[in-house]
Amino acid sequence: MKELLLIIVPLAGAALAALWPGERTRPWLLPAVGLVHSVLAFWLLLEPPRVAPDAWLAFDPLARAVLPAVSLLFLVCAAYGVSYLRIRAERSNRVFVASLLAMLGLLSAGHQSRHLGLLWITTEALTLTAVPLLHFNGTARAFEATWKYLLVGGTGIAMSLLGSFCLGYASLYGGGTGDLTFGAMMAQGAGLSRPWVLIAWVLLLVGYGTKMGLAPMHTWKPDAYGEAPGIVGAMLAGGVTTVAFTALLRVRAVVDAAGAGAIADRTLLVIGLFSVVVAALFLLGTRDFKRMLAYSSVEHMGILVIGAGLGRAGVWAALFHVWTNCLTKGTLFLSAGNIRRAAGARTCDEVSGMAVVTPQSAALFVAGLFAVTACPPFGPFFSELRVLRAAIEGGHWAATGVFLGGLLFAFFGLTRLVFAIVDGRPRTPARTGGAHLRESIGVILPPLALLGFSLWLGLATPAVLRDAWTAAVAQLFPAS
């Protein structure tokens, strides 16, 4: 019952936010709901509920392994949101708060969906709740970004629906019932018609890969992350992409059960490496530090998918990386949001010397940079090391080489841009614009807390999380 509350509470909160009259008090609904959600999620992490095998919605081991991370990210972003919306008091926050809360409810539903059709509906609905968040700034550029997001995301999500139908037909053609629950499809196993399974795999990989932002389906990402408020970018990069990733993990398990696991793993490796390389190349070229975050996200989605293609150890590492990426990206998006607000511009041609204008945010941004490029002792270092180890143990030498090369170039690109912004003398507009943002506790503490979590996860990964990831791997690889 508690697992349903994870969905119902945020959706009820969203309805309440839509009706709430007070413009100044409404943002407090965000941390209130976020707190209830986190308490529930971590309670369920410590005391996993029983899962009925044919349930459409359940807090199964995979949901348990990732949903608390998303919940934690939301709670911290919500705390930041209160201060952020106070700064942006010139715009009504009714739709913004309601959409953000609805997004949390749908994220919970997406992670818990054990039925392919239900999963599709929640993913599509997630896409739609993001729309008002993306054009919150109301500029022409923001509408352009939203339009691209709708068009690219909509086409992607249509492909995943087609893929879902193909998987259903694979079951039907193989003499099954066409039941779209993951449990039933895995039970049918080799009975699934193989050609249809492969068609479905390609379509679902394209569809959910578009949602994740894997290259070459990542084109919506730089625009969306560039134009949306930092907290929206953090929720998209840490939350929505995670749902698409777990969807791919669930589908991969079905394809594996149908006997085509080797093909699925190979495609995952190729598309993951391609994403890392493409992201690294764009990182070397971009001059906009908010678009930089998008390319960094493309890179990390690539790492997740590489992990997913490396068998049990790789999937374990990928689940670890979901946590470290989720929390580290939060730090980067929130501190970048502060810098953007203070500087009034977003490219390294217009912004420099932010270490003087916003010293605390700049320090967090630099720390976040080292964390996200997997420098020790931050969390991503340990999770990426695990992915690398899985690759080496699997004997994928060429893949390991390309992966390391991609990481190196991404590191060059990111450091070049971040230090161009932080170092040097402040430009005149930045000096005058700096007055708009006071570095209060409300905008500094949340990214700092996320950085702390990321550090802690790397240095002392709690045993309960390790067990949760192991249980999720056991769910995804039931055969051996």
Partner 1 sequence: MNTTVNLLIGLAMGLNLLALGSSRLPSIIRAMSVQGMALGLLPLLLEHELDWRVVAVALVTVAVKGFVIPQLLRRAMRAANIEREVEPFIGFVPSLLLGAAGTVAAVAGARALLLLPEHAGTLLVPGALASIFTGLILLVARAKAISQVCGYLIMENGIYLFGLLLIHSTPLLVESGILLDVTVGIFVTGIIVDRIQRAFDSLDTRKLTVLRE
- Choose, by CB under 8 A, the member of 193, 296, 324, 373 that binds partner 1: 193
What is the Cα 84 distance to its own chain's centre?
A: 21
Pattern 285-314, partner 1, x by CB under 8 A: xx----------------------------
Residues 301 and 236: beta-carbon distance below 8 Å: no
Q: Which stretch binds partner 1 (CB under 8 A): 136-144, 236-244, 246-254, 405-413?
A: 136-144
Under the binding rule (CB under 8 A), the answer on residue 358 touching partner 1 is no
Is residue 340 involved in binding partner 1 (CB under 8 A)?
no
CA distance 466 to 400: 24
Q: How far apart are CA 204 and CA 216, in angstroms?
A: 15
Does position 145 interact with partner 1 (CB under 8 A)? The reply is yes
| Cβ nearer to partner 1, comparing 49 with 117 | 117
Which one of the spans 40-48, 100-108, 139-147, 315-323 is the region binding partner 1 (CB under 8 A)?
Answer: 139-147
As a dihedral over the C-alpha atoms of residue 37, residue 246, residue 238, residue 383, rounded to 10 degrees, the angle is 110
- Residue 344 falls in which region: left (phi positive, over 0), alpha (psi -120 to 50) or beta: left
Contacting partner 1 (CB under 8 A), which of 64, 114, 135, 211? 135
Q: What is the DSSP string of 72-95?
A: HHHHHHHHHHHHHHHHTTTS--HH
Q: Should residue 18 be labelled a site residue for partner 1 when binding is judged by CB under 8 A?
A: no
Q: Which of 49, 117, 191, 259 binds partner 1 (CB under 8 A)?
A: 117
Give the whole-angstrom CA distance, residue 71 versus residue 38: 5
Task: Decide if 298 contacts 215 (C-beta within 8 A).
Answer: yes
Q: Under a CB-based contact definition with an 8 Å cutoff, are residues 304 and 243 in contact?
A: no
Range in contact with partner 1 (rule: CB under 8 A) among 155-163, 313-321, 362-370, 444-452: 155-163
Binding mask 205-234 for partner 1 (x = CB under 8 A): -----------------xx--xx-------
Residue 19 CA, distance from chain mean position: 29
Six-digit token string for 148 = 């691209």
Q: What minimum distance in Å lies between the beta carbon of 197 and partner 1? A: 11
User: Judged by CB under 8 A, does residue 344 bind partner 1?
Assistant: no
Output the DSSP codes for 271-320: HHHHHHHHHHHHHHH--BHHHHHHHHHHHHHHHHHHHHTSHHHHHHHHHH
Nearer residue to partner 1 within complex by CB, 47 or 90: 90
From 18, 131, 356, 420, residue interacting with partner 1 (rule: CB under 8 A): 131
User: Does residue 141 interact with partner 1 by CB under 8 A?
Assistant: yes
Which residue's CB is nearer to partner 1, number 280 or number 317?
Answer: 280
Choice between 116 and 231, CB closer to partner 1: 116
Token readout for 480 is 């051996």
DSSP, residue by residue, 49-68: PP--TT-SB---HHHHHHHH
Residues that bind partner 1 (CB under 8 A): 115, 117-118, 120-121, 124-125, 128, 131, 135, 139-141, 143-148, 150-151, 154-155, 158, 161-162, 165-166, 168-169, 171-173, 177-180, 193, 195-196, 222-223, 226-227, 285-286
